[in-house]
Amino acid sequence: MTTLLIISALLVGAYLVAVLEAWLANGRFRLTGPLWATVALLGRESIVPRTPDRLFFETAPVLLLVAAVLAAAVLPLSPSLIIANMATGALFINAALAYVLVALLMAGWGPDGAYALIGGWRFLGQVIAYSMLVVMPITAVAMRAESLLTTDIVLSQSGVWNIVYQPLGFVLFFVASLAVAFLPPFDLPTAGGELAGGVEAEYTGSRLAVFRLGRMVLIVSLAAATTVFYLGGWLGPVL
């Protein structure tokens, strides 16, 4: 039941992120816009490149989605509403995010296309540059809580949130999250106007829909992690 609730929350959050992203991009607020866009994608033919690495090409979108869900598995919505309250939960998030890198590299290599490959290599360089900005803030909040349990990290903020004690850590984690989710100004892996979509360039139909869903869920997971680590988790006004 807990797993179902959290996955449902991730999907709802991903949909709202898609609505917000479309609003910022087009200047028009349409609550049903992402729904019809997804229906249109699912109705299109999924074209396979001429000489792909089939395993990488097929697996990359699914792996991105799985990695995003795994990152949320150790994030508590309440003291008991958590999929896996692991003793090393804070470190597990970083391990799950490592699979995002693997997924993007597979998406770049699999189609055997120049634009996709350049996008994959760009993401590799980006994550190498910003990975420490994910690890260091997580380590800092874990040290303050004297625990790697994400529930303990939330409870350690019962008086004052970590953003007050560690404002620099919050900024670093926020910037690193933008880079990991390849959001502007760190959207080099997709770079629509420059690389014709980058790592997304060779994906169409249902594969592209799964890829974009994985990215939206990843954004929600990173936002939830920021709330757990710095904004009091369930102790705050809004998770």
Per the rule left: phi > 0, alpha: psi between -120 and 50, beta: everything else, 10 is alpha
Q: Which residues have a Cβ under 8 Å from the Cβ of 3 and sit 6 or more positions away? A: 83
Query: In the prediction, which pLDDT does 52 show?
Result: 74
Which of 145, 187, 188 is closest to 169 using CA atoms? 145
Q: Is the pLDDT of residue 192 over 70?
A: no
Domain count, the chain: 1
The pLDDT of residue 239: 47
Mean pLDDT score, 55-61: 89
pLDDT reported for residue 12: 93
What are the distances in angstroms from CA 120 to CA 167, 181, 188, 207, 221? 32, 13, 9, 17, 22
The residue behind tokens 């309440």 is 78
Q: What secondary structure does DSSP assign to 157-185, as a single string?
A: TSSS-HHHH-HHHHHHHHHHHHHHTT-TT
Choose among 32, 187, 39: nearest CA to 104. 187
Q: Which of 138, 140, 1 is nearest to 77 (CA)?
A: 1
Cα–Cα distance for residue pair 121/221, rounded to 1 Å: 24
Q: Give per-residue pLDDT as tens, 147-187.
A: 999 999 999 998 889 999 999 999 999 999 998 888 888 87
> Residue 190 has what pLDDT?
64
pLDDT digits (tens, 9 = 90+) for 90-147: 889 988 988 988 888 888 888 877 778 887 888 888 888 888 888 899 999 999 999 9
> 3-state SS of the chain: helix, strand, coil percent to 5?
70, 0, 30
Structure tokens given for 235: 């102790």
Tell me what percent of the residues of the chain surpass a pLDDT of 90: 37
- Among 48-57, 169-178, 229-238, top mean pLDDT goes to 169-178
CA separation (Å) from 217 to 1, 10, 64?
A: 19, 6, 9
pLDDT digits (tens, 9 = 90+) for 115-125: 788 878 888 88
Whether the per-residue pLDDT at 69 is higher than 90: the answer is yes
User: Could you list the residue range(s) of the whole structural domain that residue 60 is in?
Assistant: 2-235
Average pLDDT value over all residues in the chain = 85
Positive or negative: CA dihedral 210, 211, 213, 217: positive
